[in-house]
Chain A
Amino acid sequence: MIHGASGKQRRHWGCKGRAVDRAEIATGFAAVGYIADRDLATAIMLMDMLGRPLLLEGAAGVGKTAVATALAACHGSNLIRLQCYEGLDQAAALYEWNYQRQLLAIKAREGRDDASAAEIEEDLFSERYLLQRPLLAAIREPTKAVLLIDEIDRADEEFEAFLLEILSDFQVSIPELGTIKARSIPRVILTSNGTRELSDALRRRCLYHYVEFPDIEREAAILRSRLPALGIDLAGQVATLVAAIRREDLRKTPGVAESLDWAAALLGLGVGHLASDPELLFDSLICLLKTQEDRARFDRTTLSRLLAQVA
C-alpha cells in the first residue's frame, strides 16, 4: 500500500488514515492490561497521526517497555524488539549474510557445472542467504509492526546516527541485493533510561513522553487489571503504601513491576489486610527493596509509620 513511501508521503498517509480517538486508545490499552493516562494516549495517537517515532523516558520500572507490548497487543501486530547494548552494530541490528550456508552451497555445487558463474553468484546473494535482524524484519513486515528499540542510551553514538538514517528513510541498501523498501512503516517506540545523553538530532525527530510513576488510583487499577483476584481494598492499600515507599529516600525506587510482584506475593501469602500481620508484611518487602542499603534503612519502625498512614 505504501511501497516506497518517502518521508513526505508517509506524513500524508498518516493524515488520511482514520483518526483514532484518545479515549479509544486508552480503552484499547486497558483491554490488554495497560492503564494509560491521557497524556500518553495523546502521544500514542500522535504517533499514528504524524508518523513519528515516540521516545519514552522515565525512571527504571515505570513501564516504558510495557507501552510497546501493549501497543502491539492493541493493534494485534507483531512486536519486534531490538535490545541495545554497547557495541551493537549494523550486522546485529540490520542484516547479515549467512556465510556458512553460502560456503556449503558453493562446496555442494563444486564439480557440477550446470549453472554459469553469474547465476551461482546471483543465487548465493539471494534472499535465502540473508539473515534478517530486527530493523530489517520490522520494515519487511506485511502489516504495520511495532518496533521497540529498547534502552537506546546503551548503544554507541555511531549506532544512534545510523538509526536516524533508517528511521527517516525506512529503506535499506544491501549492495548485493539493491535497495529494500519498506512494505509497511512500523510504529517505532524508543526507550531510554538516561545513562547517556541522547543526541539532539534523534530527539528532534521523535515525539517525547516522560513516563512518571502512576498515581495511587492508576496504580491500583493496574494491580487490579493484572491480578483480578486482588480485592479492591487491598489493591488500594498496596498502591498507597508503594507510593509512600517511593517518597522515602531509597537508593532504588520500586517500579510498577515490583509492586505487581509484591501484590502477587501478598495474594499468595493470603494477606487480606495490610495491617493484619506486620511481621509477614515486613518479610515480604524483599519484593520491593532490592539493595542491602535500602533494606537496612527501611526498618520495622519506618514500615509501621507508613502503615499507620495507609490503614
Chain B
Amino acid sequence: MAAQARLIERLAGFTATLRASGFELGIGKTEDAARILASDLARRPSSLRPALRALCASNHAEFLQFDALFDAFFLGRHVRQAVRSAGNPPKPGPRTLREIKAGREAMNPATAEATAPPDALTDTPDDQQAGAAMQGGASVAENLTTRALADLTDPAALAAAEAAALRIRACLRARKSRRWRTARHPGRLDLRRTIRASLARGGTPIDLHYCKPRLRPLRVALLIDVSGSMTLITPLYMRFALGMLRGADKTEAFLMHTSLVSVSAALRDPDRVRALDRLTLLSKGAGGGTRLGESLARFNRHHAKYALAGRAACFILSDGFETGDIALLAREMAALQRRCRRLIWLNPLAAAPGYTPSARGMSAALPYLRIFAPAGSAAALAALPAKLARL
C-alpha cells in the first residue's frame, strides 16, 4: 500500500511529463489515472502500463509513444539504455579534434535543448552527461541542419515566403459543390425540409427551411524534401509550409528525407518556440540522402487516402536529386497522379539560367506534373499565385 501511495504522489510529475510531450490531459483524466493507481492494476507495471495508456493516449501517435514515456518515468533505469541505443554508440579510445568540436557545438544550449530528451525523464545528474555523450556521436552535417531549421524563428528574412503562401492559399479557393447544406439565413428554400416540417403543422408550410451550396475547400498536401542538397532552402520552405497551414483546414505537410514524417501538427502549434522544438525532433534524419521514391510510396500508402481525398492539390518541393530507385519514383508518381491531378512541383534550382530538368529523379517525375515552377527564393514564391490561378 505504501508503494501505491508513493506512485500516486508521482502522478503529478508523470502527467506533467505527458503534457510536455503533447498529451492533452484534463483534470478528469488525471482523476481517473489516480483511481487506476489506487486499484489492483497498479500492482505490476505490465498491467499498469496498458491501463494508463488506454486512458492517456488519444491518438495512434500517442499510443505508440506512451510505453517509452512510461518506462522512462516509472522504471527510471531503462532511460539511459533507451537513450544510448537511440543515438550512436560511444566510440572507444581518444576522439579526433573534429569530433570534440562537434560535441562542444552540440552542447551549446541553443541546439542541445531542442534535441535533448524531455528533462522530466532524467532525475540523476549523470543523465545530463549521458545526453551530452549521445550528442557527441552526432555528425557535423546534422548540426548544420538543426541550425538551418532554427532560422525559422527569424522573422525578417522569411516573412515574405509566408505572405506568398497566404496569397496562394487565397487563390486555391473553395468550389461550390452541387450538394446543398442547411442555411440559417433566408435564401434558397429547402423544399424537402420545409415540406417535412409542414407535416407537424398539418400540411401548412409555416416553418421555412433554407439551404445554400456546400463549399468544398481544396485539400492541399505539401511534400517537402529536406535532404542534404536542400539544406540552404529548407528554412524558406518550412516558413512557406507554415503559411500554407496557418488558418487552413485540410492541409497536411510532410518532410521527405530518408523517410517520411508528418509535420502538420507541429507546424500548427500556436506556440512558435514549441513548434520549433517539435519540428527539430521530427527532422532527426534531415540533411541526409533523399529517397524520393520510397517517401512517395509511404505517402501513397499511408497518408494520401486522407490528405488527398476528393478535390486536392499536391505540392512537391524538391530539387529532384534521387539516390534511390528511379523506376520506383516513376511508379509512385504515376500512382500519386491517379489520385490527384493537380500535381505541382516547385524546384529551387529551376530559376538558374540554363537549367534543364535533367536530374534523374526530376526527369522521371516530369511527365506526371501539371505545373513545374521555379521556387528558389521568396520572390519566386511570390510569383506563384499567378501560375496557380487556373488550378
Contact = CB atoms under 8 A, between A and B. Distances in A.
Interface in A72-122: 97, 99-100, 102-103, 106
Nearest to A168: B28
What DSSP secondary structure best describes chain B's contact surface?
helix
B301 interface: yes
Contact of B50 (A38, A203, A204, A206): A38
Contacts of B41: 42
Contact of A99 (B26, B62, B200): B200
Nearest to B60: A210
Contacts of A38: 50
A100 B199 CA distance: 8
B53 interface: yes
A194 B50 contact: no
A203 B301 contact: no
Contacts of B29: 204
Contacts of B47: 22, 42
A46 B63 contact: no
A19 B35 CA distance: 12
Contacts of B32: 11, 50, 52
Given A42-B50, A97-B200, A210-B63, A15 B35 contact: yes
Interface in B27-51: 28-29, 32, 35-36, 39-41, 47, 50-51
Contacts of A11: 32
Contact of A103 (B24, B50, B199): B199
B365 to A, nearest CB: 20
Contacts of B59: 57, 203, 208
B54 A43 contact: yes
A46 B36 contact: yes
Nearest to B64: A210
A17 to B, nearest CB: 12
B301 A249 contact: yes
Interface in B288-346: 297, 301, 305-306, 309
A46 B53 CA distance: 11
Given A49-B35, A204-B29, A210-B63, A195 B54 contact: no
What DSSP secondary structure best describes chain A's contact surface?
helix
A207 B24 contact: no
B36 A19 contact: no
B57 to A, nearest CB: 5
Contact of B51 (A15, A46, A206): A46
B248 to A, nearest CB: 14
Contacts of A103: 199, 202
A196 interface: yes
B58 A203 contact: yes
Contacts of B309: 195
- Chain B's interface size range is 20 to 34
A295 to B, nearest CB: 16
A200 interface: yes
Contacts of A218: none
B389 interface: no
A200 B63 contact: no
A209 interface: yes
Nearest to A156: B181
Contact of B60 (A43, A49, A57, A200): A57
Interface string A18-56: 010010000000000000001100110110011010110
B35 A50 contact: yes
Interface in A209-232: 209-210
Given A42-B47, A97-B200, A194 B306 contact: yes
B35 A206 contact: no
Contact of A200 (B24, B28, B35, B39): B24
Contacts of A209: 54, 63
B55 interface: yes
A256 to B, nearest CB: 19
Contact of B58 (A22, A49, A204): A204
A210 B63 CA distance: 7
Nearest to B61: A210
Contacts of A46: 36, 51, 54-55
A206 B28 CA distance: 11
B259 to A, nearest CB: 15
Contacts of B63: 208-210
B306 A249 contact: no
A43 B199 contact: no
B50 to A, nearest CB: 4
Contact of A19 (B40, B53, B58): B40
Interface in A251-301: none
Contacts of A100: 199
Contact of B55 (A19, A50, A106, A194): A50
Nearest to A250: B301
A249 B297 contact: yes
B70 to A, nearest CB: 13
Contacts of B35: 15, 49-50
Interface of A: 11, 15, 19, 22, 38-39, 42-43, 45-46, 49-50, 52, 54-55, 57, 97, 99-100, 102-103, 106, 194-197, 200, 203-204, 206-210, 249
Given A19-B40, A208-B57, A210-B63, 14 more contacts: A38-B50, A45-B51, A50-B32, A99-B199, A99-B200, A100-B199, A102-B200, A103-B199, A196-B306, A203-B24, A206-B58, A208-B62, A209-B54, A249-B301
24 contacts: A11-B32, A39-B54, A46-B51, A46-B54, A49-B36, A50-B36, A52-B55, A54-B54, A55-B58, A57-B60, A97-B200, A99-B199, A100-B199, A106-B202, A194-B306, A195-B306, A206-B58, A207-B54, A207-B55, A208-B54, A208-B58, A208-B62, A209-B63, A210-B60
